[in-house]
Amino acid sequence: MTETSRSGTLPLTALRKGDVGVVVDVVDDGQMLGDSDGSTLARRLGELGFVPGADVEVVAVMWLGHDPLAVRVGGSTFALRGREAEQIRVRRT
Amino acid sequence: MNSAADALPDQRFALVGLPNCGKTALFNRLTGSHQKVANYPGVTVERKEGHFRGPSHRQYRVLDLPGVYSLRPTTLDEAITRDVVLGRLAGEAQPELVVLVADATHLALSLRLILDVKRLGVPMIVALNLSDVAKRRGYALDRERLAQELGVPVVETVAVASDGAEDLIAELERNATTARAMVSSDREVADVRATHAEAARILEVIGYRVPPRNRLLETADRLVLHPVAGMLLLGALLFFVFQAVFSWAAAPMDAIQAGVAVVAHWLTAVLPDGVLRSLLVDGILAGVGSVVVFLPQIIILFAFILALEDSGYLPRAAYLLDRVMGSVGLSGRAFIPLLSSFACAIPGIMATRTIPNLRDRLATIMIAPLMTCSARLPVYALLIAAFIPARAVGPFNLQGLVLFALYFAGIASALIVAFVMKRTMLKSAYHPLMLELPDYQWPNARNLAMGLWERVRIFMSRVGGVILSLMVLLWFLSSYPAPPAGAVGPAIEYSFAGMIGQALAVVFAPIGFNWQISIALVPGMAAREVAVAALGTVYSLSGSDDGVAGALAPMIAASWSLATALSLLAWYVFAPQCLSTLVVVKRETNSWRYPLLMAAYLFALAYGAAFLTYRLALAFGGG
């Protein structure tokens, strides 16, 4: 990753309603979901389609902290809480 | 025909797919009414199995597994699917084949799951579901090329069309002859990004084309998800559902009550006075009737819930309410069960099955009885009519305000209880929302009918089983022993229920209940409104329920203090006066732990609230 793209990345929560962007990275903070053989938060986000290079569009945001927000990715729409959305680093396009 | 069927061994297969891929609709299409719904042993995850015969008369047994995004589970439901597919779930045989249901309109997401499952070496058929919708909306893909790339059969299915599963059945028949038991495999699941790249490559070579999005639906979605407009729409919708549940159900409920009365009258006429007649009329008929009467409300309510769920609106409502519910530690999905509980806590508790996180679900179940169910209305109505003057307070009526305050007290205390529980015994680790908002679609009448029938069957079988036995027990307690010869008081006073009531009166004296109220509380355990009839019995009245209530109001107004009446109202906001609810909680949680806990905390709250109300009312001269 080049220095310029690194400085240009934002958490998904920084996007406003109607903004489009492209996923640069999904930060893995090791948060486990489910049992010991389960997915981590970052892994599950990847399984839903939040992988580097994927186009995202913020469809709706709730007031106060953009939590939760609704995002379109890969032809599907997902509601994410702020905690999840912050892990997704995007570049505005 | 029989010999042909006997010659072929049964084939067991499982339906695996993403949530919202139309998997359950396909299951309904394949199995029709040949379904069995139960729980997996020891957990609260619903197990749906069905069967059907193919053209060869081979019997197929289908398991409808919970929807998953991957074989790395994040919820109990997803863990069940993984364990069944891998043959790791005790007491559940590994299926011989997996039918992977893929949504043709969301192939990218489905493809990642297909690759995950395929990597396990599991025999698999891919069913491209919703292929009619995909074609109509302009999706394009090369099905044969997809089968080639995946190395597994790919068939098109249309779960909502009567012949929509024929290709799948034909393919099952072809595979059945060569099917062998699956090899359990724990091979490491590949990196998500690698799987994603592989899925993207396959989508490219099969020429998967997605049409431009429907502008109209997109605009609608912006409105539905808007923080203000969306909330107003949700409020209007909930108000409409509420109105419908109470007004449309009124006529059939009256009819059921009239029907029960006719049967009771007929039984009274044809049977000689005695134990059998009393058991049939006062025990079984009265008891079951008081529960069955809620069936119309339950049907209307679930018709709305299922239609909203099918249409794709429900997850959007959960999104809108996630912040409010989240502030007390609940999921946005808790609102539908809680809404249902205003009609009756039983369907509400049944509706908590849509909450994936077990602790969130338990917290929702625990507070469901605090929503003022319609069975409390007769009690409220009686006490308000007797003790609260119909005085105007500003633009409102004092009686209406008291009723509103009682509803509000229930909701407020539910939020507080949820808050406390989620911070103590039901503390859950961080649980994400990550909720898919599926495309809008018209609810399918057949699926709606089948879903409704399933709920009605569950409700009725519960009425038929444990609840019935409890009703009979309560009847026994209220009827025996018979009053001694020459007794002057009402018969119930001499019964076991009477003795329990007299003993309870000591306990209830500090909150202002006399022995008549204490006795009425015992049969009132069956269903809250039965307490009204029981009070009538204690005060030696007879006649129809309405007649009793009419004659009872002035009588209790004369003999109780205002403080006692207010205390009883406060008691009824919390009291677990409904054995049916506790039985359903036991069924849904598979343990006595939660119903006992529920009864204990509700009793404590009820006693505390009634005590406070009584003492305050006395202090302000309400004695």
Closest-approach residue (CA) in chain A for B210: A75
Which has the closest alpha carbon to B98: B43, B162, B175? B175
Q: Is the pLDDT of residue B545 over 80?
A: no
Q: Across residues B547-564, what is the average pLDDT?
A: 77
Among A28-32, B408-412, B537-541, B544-548, the minimum mean pLDDT is found in B544-548
Arithmetic mean of pLDDT over chain B: 83
Q: Is the pLDDT of residue B2 over 80?
A: no
Among A62-76, B70-84, B110-124, B280-294, the minimum mean pLDDT is found in B280-294
CA B340 to chain centre: 8
Q: Model confidence over B260-271: pLDDT tens digits?
A: 888 888 988 888
Between chains, do B109 and A49 touch, taking CB under 8 Å as contact? yes
Tell whether A82 lies on the interface with B, counting CB pairs under 8 A: no
Is-contact B480 B492, C-beta < 8 A? no
Q: What integer pLDDT is reported at residue A5 of this predicted model?
A: 46
Between chains, do A34 and B226 touch, taking CB under 8 Å as contact? no
Identify any residues that bridge with B125 across adjacent strands, giving them in sequence order: B99
Q: Model confidence over A40-61: pLDDT tens digits?
A: 888 889 999 999 999 999 999 9
- Extract the tokens encoding A68: 């939760």
N- to C-terminal Cα distance for chain B?
81
Q: How many CB atoms lie within 10 A of CB B441?
A: 15
ipTM summary value: 0.90
Alpha carbon distance B544, B264 (integer Å): 12
Residues 414-433 of B with CB under 8 A from A: 429-433
Q: Is the pLDDT of residue B26 over 90?
A: yes
Residue A84 has its nearest CB partner, among B72, B210, B433, at: B433
Alpha carbon distance B348, B340 (integer Å): 5
Alpha carbon distance B124, B191 (integer Å): 21
Among B11-25, B274-288, B446-460, B554-568, the minimum mean pLDDT is found in B274-288
Number of residues that make up chain A: 93
Q: Model confidence over B222-280: pLDDT tens digits?
A: 899 999 999 999 988 888 887 787 778 888 888 988 888 888 889 888 888 877 887 88
pTM of the model: 0.78
Q: Model confidence over B90-111: pLDDT tens digits?
A: 888 888 899 999 999 989 889 9
Q: Which of B130-139, B183-192, B537-546 has the highest mean pLDDT?
A: B130-139
Between chains, do B435 and A35 touch, taking CB under 8 Å as contact? no
Measured at the alpha carbon of residue B257, what is the angle toward residues B496 and B336, in degrees to the nearest 5? 90
Residue B550 pLDDT class (50, 70, 90 cuts) = low
Alpha carbon distance B482, B476 (integer Å): 10
Q: Is the pLDDT of residue A65 over 80?
A: no
Q: What integer pLDDT is reported at residue A2 of this predicted model?
A: 39
Residue B42 pLDDT class (50, 70, 90 cuts) = low
Alpha carbon distance B554, B465 (integer Å): 39
DSSP chain A: --HHHHHT-EEGGGSPTT-EEEEEEE-----B-SSTTS-BHHHHHHHTT--TT-EEEEEEE-HHHH-SEEEEETTEEEEE-HHHHTTEEEEE-
Give B415's contacts (C-beta < 8 A, 6+ positions apart).
B328, B367
DSSP B153: -
Is-contact A77 A59, C-beta < 8 A? yes
Residue B548 pLDDT class (50, 70, 90 cuts) = low
Chain A residues in contact with B210 (beta carbon < 8 A): 75
Q: What integer pLDDT is reported at residue B500 of this predicted model?
A: 86
Residue B465 pLDDT class (50, 70, 90 cuts) = low
Residue B192 has its nearest CB partner, among A47, A60, A68, at: A47
Q: What integer pLDDT is reported at residue A4 of this predicted model?
A: 43
Q: How many angstroms away from the CA of A47 is the closest CA of chain B?
A: 6
